Amino acid sequence: MARDQIFFGRQVLKEALQQKLKVQEIYFEGKHDKEYCENILRSFSQPVSLVHNLPREVPGAHAQGVAFRIDHEFYLDSLPEDFEEKFPRILLLNHLQDVQNLGAIIRSAAAFGFDLLVHENRRSVQLSPTAVRISQGQAFRVKFWEPSNLSPFIDKLRDRGFEVVGLDLEKAGPLFRWKPAPRVAFVLGSEESGIQKSLLDRLDQCLKIPIQANVESLNVSHAASIAMAWVFGSSASK
């Protein structure tokens, strides 16, 4: 994803300003949109030029009359040497395909303290302005990394003291009886085929979320939210 990008949505703009990111230009559609932009800029005391009319590439139906240009690096070029200290909770996305799911997962990850999201650089949905909008701007709060293969990274996580757990329905124990370790990495599979077998063989264990017998499964973003909330709540109660 390019550093210099145009994003859209009122809450996304507000989140970028809250994170004290340097907004280069703000675009507005109508009179009330301009007033919103002027008011929020006064709240954050950041002088930014306002431009009438949204850029052509912005989807008007989802922009809420507001877009902005920003230079921000979401992806790490490489992991810091002490990544286990900076990112004690990590989410691994194994060939996730749907941008809606990615955006929803990012929002939950920010809420529950999973500050690093890792996905393969091929056959996986990439972060985009649409995903950032679906996350309601929470993508500005987390970091991303995209290796070519998750298997070596899982091995490294285990060497660094992480408990690496997959969310799966086969041969899995119940999530709500599990006591998370201080360092946890969750692996989520694709919407269609789940976690690759080559990764399943590397995990410490698999967990499942108990649901009614007549319901086939949960959406991957909903399952991710429940699992991350369980880790967050478990650590908060200690």
> In Å, how far from its chain's centre is CA 8?
17
- pLDDT tens by residue, 138-172: 999 999 999 999 999 999 999 999 999 998 866 68
- Burial (CB < 10 A; 0-12, 13-18, 19+), residue 152, is exposed
* Separation CA 179–CA 232 (nearest Å): 11
Q: What are the angstrom distances between the C-alpha of 209 and each of 34, 132, 178, 191, 225?
A: 45, 27, 11, 16, 11
- pLDDT tens by residue, 94-112: 999 999 999 999 999 999 9
Q: Please report the domains of the chain, with CATH numbers, ordered by start residue.
A: 4-71 (3.30.1330.30), 83-236 (3.40.1280.10)
Q: For residues 184-190, give the mean pLDDT.
A: 94
Give the per-residue pLDDT at 192: 83
> In Å, how far from its chain's centre is CA 22?
21
- Indicate the pTM of the whole model: 0.93
pLDDT at 3 over 80: no
* Separation CA 213–CA 207 (nearest Å): 17
Question: What amino acid occupies position 133?
Answer: R
